[in-house]
Structure 1
Amino acid sequence: MIYLDYQATTPLAPEALKAMLPWLEQGHANPHSPHRAGRQARAAVEVARDQVAALLPPGGRVVFTSGATEALNWAIKGASGGIVTTAIEHAAVLDTAHATGRDLTILPVDDKGLVAPASVAPGVGLVAAMLVNNEIGTVQPIAALAEEARRVGAWMLCDAVQGYGRIAIPDGVDLIALSAHKIHGPKGIGALWIRDGITLPALLHGGDQEGGRSGTLSPALCAGFGVAAKLMAARAEEDMAHVERLWALAIAQLGPDWTINGSTDRRYRGNLNVRREGLDVARLMSDCRDIAFSAGSACASGSGRTSHVLRALGLGDAQARSSIRLGFGRYTTEADLTAAIARLDAAARAQRP
């Protein structure tokens, strides 16, 4: 199997697995218990917290959550006033914003998938935007959006799930949502970074183990997340150079029959979303079963709806349905990528020469 679905999830780093194993095999104490074993577990959690925080702006605290969906729900539901967000946000933002019942303004994007920061009206309490789009990889002007939010006294929430460790997060944000499994860490853990001075009402009630967030933490998951974050920092230049090489190879190999969806300049290049006229994506997936790629967000798979992100770019249903997403990164080899693209291109040509 050639794995090209890095936006859905990334392979677990061997170093992260190694860090987790002692806490899965022997370190079974509750990190919130006061005895020595509990304190040892707690120490591992705090080391991980520092490792995750090292890639974030100063002046805030990292609160571990079950994932980015919980972090985004907590931030959005904990804010007050109206909400401003963009048309290409993840469902965890859009659906949660709608569920609050508060005034909601959705900013459009251009045909490259980029939002133009607009004036925020008084009464808005939260501006929410993703750093890197999960479907098309475009990098949004978070600093400009944060400045506009600050002008009216609103909080700026940045969904940094796809960009954390890859694209710098501006200092002007107030809340940052993260997910470990998008940076070669384990599934089942994420975090919300909260700027100092901000207090969110609890989303989950119980033991208040995280100071505003209740629930027993897993030292194993925290340790894996921490080491994955540490690796993102240590390997940042190497990983980015590798992604740039893979992008160049892919673009050269696909040729003129494929069109890139979204900006090619303001983009994280480990995300290649392309379309081909008349392509039957379901048939392509059937013909290329040993290649893992996506027809859109994994979170919307099976819904039957075309991508709201691609529609926001102005694409029609036929164009959206003829698009695929190839995601690659640290553990993708050049040989695997070129072999996969050759297979995909040949299968597509067989459908419509």
Structure 2
Amino acid sequence: MNQLGYYQSLIEKFPEGKLGEGLEPTFPGLSYQPMTYGLLLSSESIYYKKFPNKNSVSRIIELIDWLIDNNDLDEDGIPGWGLPHEWDAFQDGSINTANHPYTITTSIVMNGFLDALSSPDLVTRDKKIRIQEILTRVSLQWCRHVWTDKQTGGFFWYSPNVVDNYFTPNVSAMFLGTLSRLLNEQSKLFNATEYEFIQKRIDSAAEAIISNVKLINGYPQWSYTIYNDPNKKTKLNDLVHHGYIIWGMETYRANGGRHELPWTIGQSVASIDSFIEKKSVQRYQNKKGPARLWGVGMALAFFSEYADIQRVKNCIEIINEVYGPFPSLKLSPDRNSKNKLFYPRYAAHVLWGLALSL
């Protein structure tokens, strides 16, 4: 089976009518996950551009409708998407309520909307206006109220809750990348003052990411959290979160970011390579156990956008042989887990990577 066949088989694992519903490894029972909806919207919008078909149109309509209808599940009057569960992200005792928005999920959903808007025939005029209105409100809200200035640059918080005002590079990088794409593709949504304000936030966030990079073994790395106290313990990113950082920063580069990145696209590719050893993918660069499925999916997405076809094919082969076979992908390799369940939010990262690979 080739990439196209893998994509077509995997999309069928997401049943129409409840495309974003599924099990989670961390939370009990079934739930509707906004991140899954965002990734599927990107995947199907990209796929439709290459292979126009009625089934994709039907799915895209469902995905857009759900994300629009559920853009404020915490009912605070501000658009944003997160987790339908209570969650203490930093294990500091500050528990966010169910449906609290998170910056990373909101970024992924915004990216899905931008992919849908890039095909004019996919979105009706009324839906386009509604999506653009939501994108505008989210952008200005996060830039005004979900932000901290630092001595060097600044950062977008992990979530709009002030107790989550941590500098986590994967979150800030992904969001700044999405905003840079938004300004490039939908500049007319903002007046001159708003545009420059958002651009300054983007560049300031990029400056903070750049100032905290460590070029080790020839490729960029970051700590998961950047604390004000340099003695506070942190860790390097696992594969999925490292992938979010370099995806966001390469999106920034591609959309005319004002700060030059002190690493090349080749070094970004090499940083993903550092997680892969023959036919296995490690969760961390220091080889502490296998990556989860979403990490390998993120690697595939990045390779598909920025690397050579051989890396893409090798990554797909690993997914099929170690996490599969397609389409019944598992959270972890067989040899490390007896869990054979299908987790849609994790598999959706692979679907997105496959769409980009086509």
TM-score (norm 2): 0.25
* Relative contact order, higher structure (CA 8 A, sep 6+): 1
Larger Rg: 1
Higher strand share: 1
Higher share of residues assigned helix:
2
